[in-house]
Amino acid sequence: MRRIGIRELRQNASRYIHLVKSGETIKVTERGIPVALLTPLPADRAKTPREQLIAEGKLIPGTQDWSTLLPLPAMPGTESSAEILEELREERL
């Protein structure tokens, strides 16, 4: 197990994070006294919440290409957001 001081960690954080990601555990010391351990996450914890839900079968990812959907039509009798913003700007003047 590698031991490093807080100053060394602060100055080379990305280097040590890379070592931890590759599986190494690092003991962080403050004035020679251990204060923290940098350890890699277990494989199942390294996933995003979405990936974890998919792996557990609690979420089925959609297959729809959302870019093909048409925008919703404006509701009759309502102003567009551009019109509302214009009115608000006019009130300020």
pLDDT in tens, 20-69: 999 999 999 999 999 999 999 887 676 788 888 998 999 999 888 888 88
Q: What is the pLDDT of residue 44?
A: 65
Scan for tokens 């959609």, then name that residue.
Answer: 62
Strand 2-5's sheet: what is its strand order? 2-5, 26-30, 33-38
Alpha-carbon dihedral angle through residues 18, 20, 22, 24, given to the nearest 10 degrees: 140
Residue type, 30: E
The residue behind tokens 């100055």 is 11
Please state whether the predicted TM-score (pTM) of the whole model is above 0.75. no
Q: List, in order of start, the domains of the chain with CATH numbers.
A: 2-55 (3.40.1620.10)
Q: 25 near 39, Cβ under 8 Å? A: yes
Please report where in the chains the tokens 């590759």 appear, as a residue.
22
